[in-house]
Amino acid sequence: MNNSIFPNIWRFFGLVVLQVLLLQQITLSIGPYFNILLYPLFILFLPIQLPAPYVVLLGGLIGMVVDFFYGTLGLHASAGAFSGFARSVILATFEPKGGFTGKEPIASPAYFGWRWYLQVAGFFFVAHLFWYFSVMDFTFVYFTRITLKTLAGWGLTMIFVVLYSALFNPKS
Amino acid sequence: MGKLLQLLLRNGGFMTFVLVEVLCFYIIIKYNEDQNAIFSHTATVFSGKLLDKRRQVADYLSLQQLADSLRAENIRINEELANARNIQVPYRDTFFIRNLDTLLLSDSLRRISVRPQFEFISARAVGNSISGANNWLIINKGSNDGITPNMGLVSKNGVVGIIRHVGPNFSMAMSVLHRQMRISVNLQRHHALGSLIWEGGDPAIMTLKFVPHHFKVEKGDAVVTSGYSQLFPKDILVGHVEEKPGSDPENPYFWIIKVRLNQDMASVNDLYVVNNIFYSELDSLNLKAKDE
């Protein structure tokens, strides 16, 4: 597990920088329905064997850092912690026959193939975005708006997820 | 404690998630204006609902008090009504008819002050019979509550009986279903005076006697108290004429009329004892008249 620490640290900072320098500007310039939240990839690519409480805490941590730049204290942290929890549920649902072994350190297309990866990432980002927009509006009175934002944001985000995963093809 | 620890460990992910979310929501509400506004509003709505529920429970627990205060209010209104029926003021600025000495004229013609004639005391029936030849009621008020013999007993539906025997805390009342009972009543439509008695049998039916033949009595005519007996205020509903009357075989100039009681004597509960403040005065006058 030790050799997986550094790639994750790099991913942490890389995704935060990408998020606040580039992706946040896209939302700000185009409009509130065009959200691209790529930083949760850090949570998804955490080692599969990492115990769930750590995943939740690290998800909250990266969210909190993003919050500092977005000026929305607690919002991304809440969504990050939720995604950390949701990841364990989604991975358990899509667990391959025979279970996860040490041979597949992270849930990436390099180990499980694109079809499996896109399913997992798809559900993962829906969960993250829906939670994020729900907490943002803070009431289900705007359920329609929350759903529309989730769908629009999900479509855009998945494009970047595919680009990122194809470009870096992370293995650890 | 050990079980709690196990639970935490087994559901570590979920527990951490819940803890982190609690912290996040605290931070969100504290540092974000929009969410804070929504939270405050929702909290107000919920606490409002909660307080409302608490008030409902408190209201429920104080229902007995409420019932007591409503009874007191009923008494006040009944007294007012009973006394108002004894005042006849045909025109505002012509003259007043004085009835049973209840009116006192003050120095200005317009202003009148009324001396109340009737006072009501609320009571509950704690005993009742309807199946005997002579029936009695027991009520939960006695001399300690200001009850004396020969007070009328009414319910919101009509006349129930007359107080006969009074103990400190309870009283016995002669039910209208008693062979010695005589109630002075009017047929409301004709103002025809009669006397209502019970001949036994059906506890819902009483017999109205001494209404002369020249009154055309119809089924459904209302029978009300006459106010002549000093026991009951005027115009309290007693019942309705059950069927077209026949002639009294003992007394061919009068009808014999079946009257269905408005108050079901089988279900008597909340009662009012009627205190005629001038009863002793009127009674002594009656006695004097009898002596002559």
Is B42 in contact with A85 (Cβ distance < 8 A)? no
Q: Would you say the pTM of this structure is higher than 0.90?
A: no
pLDDT digit string, tens, across residues B48-59: 788 888 888 888
Give the pLDDT score at B41: 83
List CB contacts (< 8 A) between A60 and chain B: 20, 23-24
Give the pLDDT score at B9: 64
Closest-CA distance, A9 to chain B, in angstroms, reads: 21
Give the pLDDT score at B247: 85
Split at pLDDT 50, 70, 90, the class of B99 is very low
Most confident stretch, A151-155, B70-74, B120-124, B268-272: A151-155
Q: What's the angle, vertex CA A87, arms to CA A84 and CA A93, rounded to 5?
A: 155
Partners of residue B212 on adjacent β-strands = B254
Is A139 in contact with B28 (Cβ distance < 8 A)? no
Task: Evaluate if residue A87 carries a pLDDT over 90.
Answer: yes
List CB contacts (< 8 A) between B12 and chain A: 51-53
Q: Is B14 part of the contact surface with chain A (CB cutoff 8 Å)?
A: yes
- Rounded mean pLDDT, B173-202: 91
Q: Is B17 part of the contact surface with chain A (CB cutoff 8 Å)?
A: yes
- Rounded mean pLDDT, B133-137: 90
Q: Which of B7, B23, B24, B33 to mutate to test the interface with A (most CBs of A within 10 A)?
A: B24
Is B12 in contact with A85 (Cβ distance < 8 A)? no
Closest-CA distance, B54 to chain A, in angstroms, reads: 26
Rounded distance between C-alpha atoms, residue A60 and residue A78, angstroms: 6
Least confident piece of the model among A77-81, A96-100, B27-31: A96-100
Q: What is the DSSP letter of B269?
A: -
Per DSSP, the three-state class of B120 is strand
Give the pLDDT score at B94: 41
Closest-CA distance, A85 to chain B, in angstroms, reads: 6
Residue A83 CB contacts under 8 Å (≥ 6 apart), including other chains: A40, A43, A44, A59, A124, A127, A128, A131
Is B20 in contact with A72 (Cβ distance < 8 A)? no
Contacts across the A-B interface (CB distance below 8 Å) = 68
Angle separating helix axes B33-61 and B63-84, nearest 10 degrees:
60
The count of C-alpha atoms lying within 13 angstroms of the C-alpha of B68, restricted to the half-sphere facing its C-beta, is 4
Average pLDDT value for chain B: 83
Rounded distance between C-alpha atoms, residue B174 and residue B191, angstroms: 26
Per DSSP, the three-state class of A77 is helix
Q: Is A82 part of the contact surface with chain B (CB cutoff 8 Å)?
A: yes
List CB contacts (< 8 A) between B23 and chain A: 60
List CB contacts (< 8 A) between B33 and chain A: none
Give the pLDDT score at B107: 44
Least confident piece of the model among B101-110, B204-213, B251-260: B101-110
Per DSSP, the three-state class of B35 is helix
Q: Is A121 part of the contact surface with chain B (CB cutoff 8 Å)?
A: no
Give the pLDDT score at A160: 93
Rounded distance between C-alpha atoms, residue B194 and residue B210, angstroms: 5
Split at pLDDT 50, 70, 90, the class of A45 is very high
Task: Evaluate if residue B198 carries a pLDDT over 70.
Answer: yes
List CB contacts (< 8 A) between A70 and chain B: none
Residue B147: how many other CB atoms lie within 10 Å: 23
Closest-CA distance, B38 to chain A, in angstroms, reads: 7
Closest chain B residue to the Cα of A140, Cα to Cα: B38
Closest-CA distance, B42 to chain A, in angstroms, reads: 9
Q: Is B205 part of the contact surface with chain A (CB cutoff 8 Å)?
A: no
Q: What percent of chain A has pLDDT over 90?
A: 59
Is A78 in contact with B21 (Cβ distance < 8 A)? yes
- Rounded mean pLDDT, A87-109: 87
Looking at this predicted complex, what is its ipTM? 0.90
Q: Is A53 part of the contact surface with chain B (CB cutoff 8 Å)?
A: yes
pLDDT digit string, tens, across residues A55-71: 999 999 999 999 999 88
Is A81 in contact with B32 (Cβ distance < 8 A)? no
Q: What part of B 31-50 touches A (C-beta under 8 Å)?
A: 31-32, 34-35, 38-39, 42
List CB contacts (< 8 A) between B8 and chain A: none
By Cβ distance, the residue of A52, A56, A138 closest to B39 is: A138
Angle separating helix axes A114-137 and A143-168, nearest 10 degrees:
140
Residue B288: how many other CB atoms lie within 10 Å: 9
